[in-house]
Structure 1
Amino acid sequence: MSRLMLGRTLERVCKAVLLLCLVHFLIMMILYFDVYSQRFDIFSRFNNGRGANASRWPHHSYYNYSGARPNATFPSYIPSSEQLLPSGKPEQNSTHTTPKPIPPCPEVPPGLVGRLLIEFSSLMSMERVQRENPNVTEGGKYTPPDCRPKQKVAIIIPFRHREHHLKYWLHYLHPILRRQKIDYGIYIINQLGEDTFNRAKLLNVGYTEALKDAEYDCFIFSDVDLIPMDDRNLYHCYDQPRHFAIAMDKFGFRLPYAGYFGGVSGLSKKQFLKINGFPNEYWGWGGEDDDIYNRITLNGMKVSRPDVKIGRYRMIKHERDKHNEPNPQRFNKIQNTKNTMRKDGISSLMYRLVSIKKYPLYTNISVEIGKPPPRPLRG
């Protein structure tokens, strides 16, 4: 009896095992056909979806499904070496991304400090200034890396024997200009020789030579001894000619008179050409700024200025330069601006370029600009 029961038990176990094997076999067959149909479907969609690009894709008989990435849309594709496209990969699998366009620079840069402490007592050297401004490139040029400025600005400084002042100017202005997000280049226009100094003619030279170096559309004309006391005084061009240095410590931080246009000013290329640039015949100190102011107003433009609290400047104290004595003819010339501005200016500029040297912090342009004409005899 016990043997009979044991035999029946073994028979049931064997049937159960056979049933499980059959179920397992059916499941495997279902999975096999399901996977096969998916592969066939992918293959069909891949071939049918090539569209206009079908002629660019050769037919291949080898596909690798085992190395597909988890997020891949299509299985990995392995063509022979002779059949690779120039890129080496199908266009659908390209990982190249177009770089994001650089945004325009904000009207008011966020990194401005405001009122600055300006002093000239500490020792200054070109080596120190260069260490302080590693992002300034050869020739004294800088472009903001994170935004696109609307203007390209040439800063032009008339110069002779002012190396001491230049160190302080570069020390303060480079950081200010970078915070202002200005795309700029600095040009020192050095008058060679010891003849009478001519500031306005040097500024005309600076305009001409800067345009040979780059496509500037804004020009800032600055004396080397004037340092802005507020970096909110933005060094770019405006809808009207701009006078920046409206409140110097020399004048008690006030505008000396309504028509004053001295120290630091800015004009766009269009504005500069409209007034025929600056006069060339003001030899010695004084008068050229008033002539420029007359040219602006006579051509239907107005001078724009910053707020008096922002347009403050400190001047580096110094003795009057030799061969830059006051021009005794300046008052007569100022009264005749209307008659002279069309024939005396950028259109009549003559000079001899001697050398151009690009230093780490600025471009030095040395020129010979001639001598003043002999003064008429009295009587």
Structure 2
Amino acid sequence: MKESVLLNVGFFTKSCVVLMCLCVVHLIVALFFYLTESPMTFTNYRLIQSDSDQFHSQTHRTAALGIQYDNGTEVDVNTLIYTNGSVIKYDLVEEPAVLESCPEPSPLLVGPLRVEFSEPVNLDMVHKGNPQLVMGGRYKPSDCVALQKVAIIIPFRNRGEHLKYWLHYLHPILQRQQLDYGIYVIQQDGEDTFNRAKLLNVGYTEALKEYDYDCFIFSDVDIIPMDDRNTYKCSSQPRHLSVSMDKFGFKLPYKQYFGGVSAMSIEQFQKINGFPNNYWGWGGEDDDIFNRLVFRGMKISRPSGDIGKCRMIRHSRDEKNEPNPQRFKRIVHTRQTMDTDGIKSLRYKVIDIEKDQLFTKITVDIGKP
């Protein structure tokens, strides 16, 4: 009997010891997690419960997971601290910064530039030098909102080497000018006589299908600005940008000259019904545009001769782009033809669209003379 009692006492003693050991282990583990838990995590989940049944029901818990304010902002409940149902602290989640408009002029401009065509340009080098570009030759500043959305339209055929130089020089310039821009190379399909003006109309039309541009730069592929203060954007009046080219001894060849590189807002372009479509071959379309602007009561804006300096890549005249023998006759009748010959009467067929990091190339059939 005594042995039985002793066995029972020993069993209970050992059980108590084991139980105490488990309690000690439990306390140590609980203390460990308490001490190591981040204060930030405590802040996330701490609620001041003066209204004890605020989150008791599952319905209330589900409804409280997201709270939407009048301004449309939705906040996770875990980021809020309440007292009597009122928010007293907003923790962790920050409102996205609202970007300000880019300054005018851009603080990134460097002024006069050295432009050389003696060394060939490799497009791989141009790609690597412009990592901020996105497909289609698109760019916009990341730290401010551009003042204008600019589509740059280049009429094109058989000028691959010239295009390399243009992309090499212009992309860095346009980025320093803090423009929201896209590059559109409009390539005439086939071997018929070249029609620069009609290709520019096509570029205007196709660019607007992709983005809400408000400014259009019409640029020949062989003209490079020599000063990045010559900003490729629009103003209150149509703007002529290539005012001082080396080809003409850095002088304006004549007062009505509007060739090379020009800028028009969407309102200005529509007001004159765009470019004429019936100028096949070289020459005349720029003078027609000058007349259209004058007839619609607009004046030409230009940068100074120093800032407007440009270099032209020397080349022989292209085949199927000989001087247009009808250009002088057509210019005389601009007033009679401008309302019917232009964007309103434009007809063409898109053959192919190529997207590259540096540009969007659109090949089109624009018909024949």
| TM-score, length basis structure 1 | 0.77
CA contact (8 A) 1:68 1:76 kept: no
CA contact (8 A) 1:248 1:313 kept: yes
Name which of 26, 31, 46 aligns with 1:76: 46
Q: Relative to 1, partners in 2 of residues 1:73 and 1:199: Cα closer, same or farther, differing over 3 Å?
A: closer
- Per-residue CA shift, 1:166-196, capped at 9, x if unaligned? 0000000000000000100000000010000
2:312 and 2:43 map into 1 onto residues whose CA distance is 68
Q: Secondary structure at the match of 1:221?
A: strand
Asked if 1:93 is matched to 2:128, the reply is: no
1:184 is aligned with what amino acid?
Y
Asked if 1:248 is matched to 2:245, the reply is: yes
2:282 is aligned with what amino acid?
W
Asked if 1:188 is matched to 2:158, the reply is: no
1:77 is aligned with what amino acid?
L
CA apart distance, 1:129: 0.5
Name which of 307, 312, 315 aligns with 2:309: 312
CA apart distance, 1:75: 11
2:351 and 2:153 map into 1 onto residues whose CA distance is 17
- Per-residue CA shift, 1:122-152, capped at 9, x if unaligned? 1211111001101011000000001111210
Q: 1:229 maps to which residue?
A: 226
Runs of 4+ in structure 1 off by over 4 angstroms are 67-70, 72-75, 78-84
- Counting only pairs closer than 5 Å after superposition, residues 201-216 of structure 1 correspond to structure 2 as 201-216=198-213
Q: 2:290 maps to which residue?
A: 293
1:126 and 1:153 map into 2 onto residues whose CA distance is 23
Q: Secondary structure at the match of 1:93?
A: strand
1:348 and 1:227 map into 2 onto residues whose CA distance is 32
Aligned length: 306
CA apart distance, 1:355: 1.2
- Counting only pairs closer than 5 Å after superposition, residues 1-379 of structure 1 correspond to structure 2 as 76-77=46-47, 82=58, 84=61, 85-86=64-65, 87-89=76-78, 90=80, 91-95=87-91, 96-372=93-369
Q: Relative to 1, partners in 2 of residues 1:357 and 1:73: Cα closer, same or farther, differing over 3 Å?
A: closer
- Per-residue CA shift, 1:76-120, capped at 9, x if unaligned? 328879564302423433322212210101111111010000001
1:163 and 1:75 map into 2 onto residues whose CA distance is 62
Determine which structure has more spread, i.e. the larger CA radius of gyration.
1
1:75 and 1:204 map into 2 onto residues whose CA distance is 61
Q: Percent identity?
A: 58
Identify the range of structure 1 (75-84 vs 110-119) with the bigger mean alpha-carbon deviation.
Answer: 75-84
Q: 2:6 maps to which residue?
A: none
2:242 and 2:43 map into 1 onto residues whose CA distance is 64
